[in-house]
Amino acid sequence: MLLHIPGVFTRDEVAALRARLDAGDWVDGNVTSGHQSATAKVNRQLPEESPEAKEVGALVLQALNAHPMFVSAALPHTVFPPLFNRYEGGEHFGVHVDNAIRQRGAVRIRSDLSCTLFLSEPGDYDGGELVIEEMYGPQTVKLPAGDLVLYPSKSLHRVTPVTRGARVASFFWLQSLVRDDADRETLFRLDVAIQRVTLDKGPKDPAVLELTAVYHNLLRRWSEV
């Protein structure tokens, strides 16, 4: 499932994050590349241990934990510490697939879902589209600053060359409580339906109670804790 998650940060919040990030010491993006990615990746990145990356990364995690749509869709077990990249002057990232296992210090996860949080407005740069290969063809993603796209880490994807301006984003991976993408999508759609029925009929309606029981019993069956 490829999902646009709006409003992780407001415009003013993005401006404050960018002020902090832009002051950092950006280095070659291949410092965190796997073997395949290193042959395709041309961009810059904040070092993982830089104070800017740590500070803003903590704010990203805090915002995600408070975002109901993200939690419902991702069902996060462990979120890899957010990283930050920058593309400009023709920089790009060729077609690749993300590593199945990501490790940083004591944090080791199976990458079920990949996330890109856009921190530049679409009109501030040309190119820089995230192109994700889906079953029904390539999906092109270029979102407002503060919005996030969530997609399966097994997907082939790329970032087109940035020919004007700068594309700044946070990127990271997560291990979900539910490994299978189809099962996770089913739970998300069911959760959305429950919320709609609740608004219409109220939380104590028998249909709401029954659907909620079905949701949790499916989650119990499919989750890995």
Which positions make up the binding site for Fe cation? 96, 98, 157
Which residues define the annotated binding site?
96, 98, 157, 167
Instruction: Give the integer Cα–Cα distance in Å for 145 and 87.
Output: 15
Distance CA 201, CA 16 (A): 41
Query: Nearest 5 degrees, angle CA 143-CA 148-CA 150?
Result: 115
Rounded Cα distance between 118 and 139, Å, is 16
List the structure tokens of 61: 């995690």
User: Residue 128 class from Cβ within 10 Å (0-12 exposed, 13-18 middle, 19+ buried)?
Assistant: buried
- Residue in the block written with tokens 């990746």: 41
| Binding site feature residues for 2-oxoglutarate | 167
Burial grade of 224 (CB within 10 A; 0-12, 13-18, 19 or more): exposed
Q: What is the CA radius of gyration of the chain?
A: 18
CA distance 73 to 57: 20
Helix (H) or strand (E) holding 72: helix 68-74
Backbone phi, psi, residue 185, to 5°: -65, -40
